Amino acid sequence: MEKKVKLAEQKADLVYLNNTQQNLGRDKEYNGQKRDSLVARLRTGDRAAAVELVDDYYQQIYLFMRKLGHDRQVSEDLTQECFFNAWHHIGQLKDGKALNGWIYRIASNVSRLHWRRHKNKEVIGIEDLEKPYSGKGEPEKMEQTEQLEHLRAAVERLPMKLRETIILHYMQQLTIAEATEAAGINQGTFKSRLNRALTILRKNIK
């Protein structure tokens, strides 16, 4: 009897995993088609598509600017500048699959240009490095909070180039290919910077 129950559970788990993989595949395909359609409309000068681009990416880019150390007002200004540049250079984007990396590349360039113009301006700390509630008790939650504070402080101390790799890949959740495009460097260089950043972080948060 127990064997039958275990087999039934295993079968159910396999069905669930297969369905999950199929759903993820469909979601990925749908998102790819949506981006292709959006880019095609943007390239024709469709204003509604521009509004859709802003709706899809505004919060992501704003938070990216905050994590790069810009204050709230500057982050809003730079985010708007990012979309202004995207609209005027949409002809450079040929493939919807590259949209993520492309929009972050523009945002990164806008941020770097701002820092070059304001070399003596203070870098603001990362404010939104939070962990979702896990259902743990107060001691565990306090320990998590302390660990996150150590991690946040360690990320803030990284040189900007290394900090950017951590933010792009881990905080903004871009793939290595998208993050590499956003950083404007080759994949080997990006991975090297990422490894250096992780090595420093491991040493600093022990």
Domain boundaries, the chain: 1-124, 129-206
Kindly state the tokens that stand for 199. 């090595």
Enumerate residues 6+ apart whose C-beta is below 8 A from 142. Answer: none
Per residue, the 3-state secondary structure of 53-87, as one string, reads HHHHHHHHHHHHHHHCCCCHHHHHHHHHHHHHHHH
Residue ranges of alpha helices (H) inside the chain are 2-43, 47-67, 72-88, 99-117, 138-157, 160-166, 176-183, 187-204
CATH code linked to domain 1-124: 1.10.1740.10
Kindly state the tokens that stand for 33. 């088609």
How far is it, in rounded angstroms, from Cα 37 to Cα 31? Answer: 10
129-206 architecture in CATH? Orthogonal Bundle (1.10)
Give residue 5's pLDDT.
46
Give residue 135's pLDDT.
46
Three-class DSSP category at 2: helix
How far is it, in rounded angstroms, from Cα 160 to Cα 69? Answer: 9
Prediction pTM value: 0.69
Give residue 19's pLDDT.
52
Per-residue pLDDT tens listing for the chain (206 residues)? 555 445 555 555 555 445 544 443 444 444 667 788 888 888 888 889 899 999 999 999 999 999 998 989 999 999 999 999 998 888 888 777 889 999 999 999 999 999 888 876 666 556 544 443 334 444 444 444 566 667 778 888 899 999 999 999 988 899 999 999 999 999 999 999 999 999 998 887 66
Give residue 175's pLDDT.
93
